[in-house]
Each structure stands twice: as C-alpha cells, then as structure tokens.
Amino acid sequence: MIVGGGIGGLSTALSLHAAGLDCVVVEAARTLRPLGVGINLQPHAVRELTELGLGDALAGLGVETTFMTFADRHGNVILSLPRGRKAG
C-alpha cells in the first residue's frame, strides 16, 4: 500500500509495477487535479522518470532550468548561477 498520490507515491507505484509487484495507492483527495504549482526536478529524478517511460511527456511539459537565482526579501538579485545546459 502506498499512501499519497503525489509525485512520490505515483512514481513509487510505477516503479513497483515495472518490477512486477502489485500495489494500491490511497489518496485523501477525492479527485486528482493540477494545483498550478511547479516543482524543480534534479537530474537524478529526471533519470528515474525517464526510466519509467515518462521522459517524452516530461520534456513536453517541463521548462528546463537555466539559472538559479538568489534574491533578498525585496526581490533584489544577490547571485545568479547558470544551471543545466547553460552551465555546460
């Protein structure tokens, strides 16, 4: 049994299914719907999702990270560092 139908729970269910193991996902929400928020996936997470057959869908929906920016509480940029392909 997997408790939670978020990205972690559903990814776990896909991994177990790929390994030939049955599981049940339980979720408190009555319906799954987009929340309008974004998440930052690190390279190892993208690799795992790609191995689960989700690479093309992820590439079609995702926005590749190009910079990581640190700002103060007023929005003034303190530091901006290239990331992903921009970092080489």
- pLDDT, mean of residues 25-52: 87
Distance CA 88, CA 86 (A): 5
List, in order, residues 6 or more apart from 23 with CB less than 8 Å away.
1, 2, 12, 13, 16, 17
Q: How confident is the model at residue 50 (pLDDT cuts 50, 70, 90)?
A: very high
Distance CA 65, CA 44 (A): 14
What percentage of residues in the chain have a pLDDT greater than 70? 100
Distance CA 68, CA 2 (A): 33
Q: What is the mean pLDDT of the chain?
A: 91
Q: How many other CB atoms are found less than 10 A from the CB of residue 66? A: 11
